[in-house]
C-alpha cells in the first residue's frame, strides 16, 4: 500500500492567517507536537518575511530531528539565501521554492512574461539544488495556469533538480474533478520519473480543500500539504485532521496510508487553539466540540446499542477522551437512564418516566440539562418533592 507523505504547513501558511501569528517559543512548542503527530515534512516558516521568522525557522530546524524541515522562498535570490540560512541547523532540510505560473498572476502581480518566469524558476532551482539536496517547487496558482505552460514548467523544474512538484489550488477555485485531471495530465506529460513526487496544496475558499486533496490522491499525488484545524490564508488550507481521518476510515477506497498517529490529532488541535487563542467551531469535523456529541434521541439510542450506528470512528481513536450524550429536549429516555446510571442512580421505569417529564420541562427553558440538574431531579422524584417549575406554573394558572 502506498504511503502519502503529510507536509504540515501550520507554522508557515497557517500562521499567515489573521490572528494566528506565533512567536519563537510558541512555534517550537507546536513544532514538537507536529513531530509527535507523525508529519513527514514540517514547513517552519518563510525566512525572508522578517528577522523573527528567520530566527524561528532556525530554532525549529535545530529542534526537529525526525521529520524533514522545509523553508519557503520565492524564486528570488534574496529569498533563497534567507531560506538556506534558516535551514542550516536542520538534520533533514528541504528548500521549498515557488513562483506563480498563471497568466493572471504573471501579468498583474509579477509583471513578467511566461519566458521570464520560466527562466527564474530554472535558475533558482539549479542554485538551490547546489546548496540543498532536496528541493521542492510549487507553481503558485497552478489550477488556473494554462496546462501546456504548466507542463513545460514542471518538466523544466524536474530537469533542474526539483524532486517534489507541488501544484497548488492557491485560491480554492478548483473542483475535485478538475484538480485531479490537472495532475493526470501533468503526470502523462512528465513521462517516467519515479524519483519525482507530486504534491497537492489546497485552499478552502469554496469549502473543497479536503475534497480536492482526496481527488489528487486518487490521481496519483503522494504528498499533501495541509494544516492543523485547517488554518491558513482567507478560508484556510486543507484540514489535516479531516484528511487523515478520511483516509483512515475509507482506506478500502483510497488504498493508501500515512505516518500520522491518529490519537495525536485532538491534542495537536487543542494545543494550536491554546497557543493562538482561537478555538474551532463546535461543528468542526473530528476535533469540534460537537464532533462526537449526540442529542437526538434516535441517535443516542443507536449509540448506546452500537456506536457504529452514528459514528464512523470512535472518539478515542483520534484522541478525543470520550463521546458526549447531550441531554436536552431532543433526547430520549434511554439516554437519561444511561446518564443517571453513570452518575450512580439506577432507575425503575416509573422513576425514569417521572424524571423524563421533569427534565423536558427544564429543557424547554434551559436548553441543556446538566449533571447537577439531573441529580436534583432524581432526588426530588425519590423524595416526591414537588417540581418548583411545575408548582409555579400551577399557581400562575389559578
State the cell numbers at 154: 514542471
Which element (helix H / strand E) includes 71? strand 68-74
Do 241 and 321 lie in one domain? The reply is no
Q: How far apart are CA 327 and CA 368, in angstroms?
A: 6
Q: Which domain holds residue 306?
A: 293-397
Q: What is the pLDDT of residue 366?
A: 74
**Model pLDDT, residue 81:** 98
159 and 304 in a single domain? The answer is no
CATH number at residue 133: 3.20.20.70
Per-residue model confidence (pLDDT) at position 385: 56
pLDDT on residue 75: 98
* Number of domains forming the structure of the chain: 2
Whether residues 265 and 308 fall in one domain: no
Q: Are residues 205 and 332 in the same domain?
A: no
- 57 and 190, same domain (yes or no): yes
Residues 195 and 154 reside in one and the same domain: yes
Would residue 200 be called left, alpha or beta, if left means φ above 0 and alpha means ψ between -120 and 50 degrees? beta
**Claim to verify: residue 28 and residue 168 sit in the same structural domain:** yes
CA-nearest of 102, 57, 56, 48 to 75 is: 48
pLDDT value at residue 186: 98
Distances (CA, A) of 258 to 87, 109, 199, 375: 25, 36, 14, 45
Residue in 48, 46, 9, 52 with CA at minimum distance from that of residue 31: 9
Residue 394's pLDDT is 44
Q: Are residues 364 and 240 in the same domain?
A: no
Residues 158 and 297 in one domain: no
For residue 266, is it within any domain?
yes
Task: Say whether both 174 and 321 belong to one domain.
Answer: no
* Domain finish residue from 224, 242, 276: 276
Asked, for residue 287, whether it belongs to a domain, the answer is: no
326/247 same-domain check: no
Asked whether residue 288 is domain-assigned, the answer is: no
The pLDDT score that the predictor gives to residue 381 is 93
pLDDT along the chain (398 residues), means of 10: 97 92 95 98 97 97 97 98 98 98 98 98 98 98 98 98 98 98 97 95 98 98 98 97 98 98 98 95 95 92 94 96 90 91 93 92 84 92 68 45
- Is residue 342 situated within a structural domain? yes
* Same domain, yes or no: 82 and 165: yes
Per-residue pLDDT, 367:
73
pLDDT of residue 386: 55
Q: Do the domain assignments include residue 282?
A: no
Amino acid at each position: 500500500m502506498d504511503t502519502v507523505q503529510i507536509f504540515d504547513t501550520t507554522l508557515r501558511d497557517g500562521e499567515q492567517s489573521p490572528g494566528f501569528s506565533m512567536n519563537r517559543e510558541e512555534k517550537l512548542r507546536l513544532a514538537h507536537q507536529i513531530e509527535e503527530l507523525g508529519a513527514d515534512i514540517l514547513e517552519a516558516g518563510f525566512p525572508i518575511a522578517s528577522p523573527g521568522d528567520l530566527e524561528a525557522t532556525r530554532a525549529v530546524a535545530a529542534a526537529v530531528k525526525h521529520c524533514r524541515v522545509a523553508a519557503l522562498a520565492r524564486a528570488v535570490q534574496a529569498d533563497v539565501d534567507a531560506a538556506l540560512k534558516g535551514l542550516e541547523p536542520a538534520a533533514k532540510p528541504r528548500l521549498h521554492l515557488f513562483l506563480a505560473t498563471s497568466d493572471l498572476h504573471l501579468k498583474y502581480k509579477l509583471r513578467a512574461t511566461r519566458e521570464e518566469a520560466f527562466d527564474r524558476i530554472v535558475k533558482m532551482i539549479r542554485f538551490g539544488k547546489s546548496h540543498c539536496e532536496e528541493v521542492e517547487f510549487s507553481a503558485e496558482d497552478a489550477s488556473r495556469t494554462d496546462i501546456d505552460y504548466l507542463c513545460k514548467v514542471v518538466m523544466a523544474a524536474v530537469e533542474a533538480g526539483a524532486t517534489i512538484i507541488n501544484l497548488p489550488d492557491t485560491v480554492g477555485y478548483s473542483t475535485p474533478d478538475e484538480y485531479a485531471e490537472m495532475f493526470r495530465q501533468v503526470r502523462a506529460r512528465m513521462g517516467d520519473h519515479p524519483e519525482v513526487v507530486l504534491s497537492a496544496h489546497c485552499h478552502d475558499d469554496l469549502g473543497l480543500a479536503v475534497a480536492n486533496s482526496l481527488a489528487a490522491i486518487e490521481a496519483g499525488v503522494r504528498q499533501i500539504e495541509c494544516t492543523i484545524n485547517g488554518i491558513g490564508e482567507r478560508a484556510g488550507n486543507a484540514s489535516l485532521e479531516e484528511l487523515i481521518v478520511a483516509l483512515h476510515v475509507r482506506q478500502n477506497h483510497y488504498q493508501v496510508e500515512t505516518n500520522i498517529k491518529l490519537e495525536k490529532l485532538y491534542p495537536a488541535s487543542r494545543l494550536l487553539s491554546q497557543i493562538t487563542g482561537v478555538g474551532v467551531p463546535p461543528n468542526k469535523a473530528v476535533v469540534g466540540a460537537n464532533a462526537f456529541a449526540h442529542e437526538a434521541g434516535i441517535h443516542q439510542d443507536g449509540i448506546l446499542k452500537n456506536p457504529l450506528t452514528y459514528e464512523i470512528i470512535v472518539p478515542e481513536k483520534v484522541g478525543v477522551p470520550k463521546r458526549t450524550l447531550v441531554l436536552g429536549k431532543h433526547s430520549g429516555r434511554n439516554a437519561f437512564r444511561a446518564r443517571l446510571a453513570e452518575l450512580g442512580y439506577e432507575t425503575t421505569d416509573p422513576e425514569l418516566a417521572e424524571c423524563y417529564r421533569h427534565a423536558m420541562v427544564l429543557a424547554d427553558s434551559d436548553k441543556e440539562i446538566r449533571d447537577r440538574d439531573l441529580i436534583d431531579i432524581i432526588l426530588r422524584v425519590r423524595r416526591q418533592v414537588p417540581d418548583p417549575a411545575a408548582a409555579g406554573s400551577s399557581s400562575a394558572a389559578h
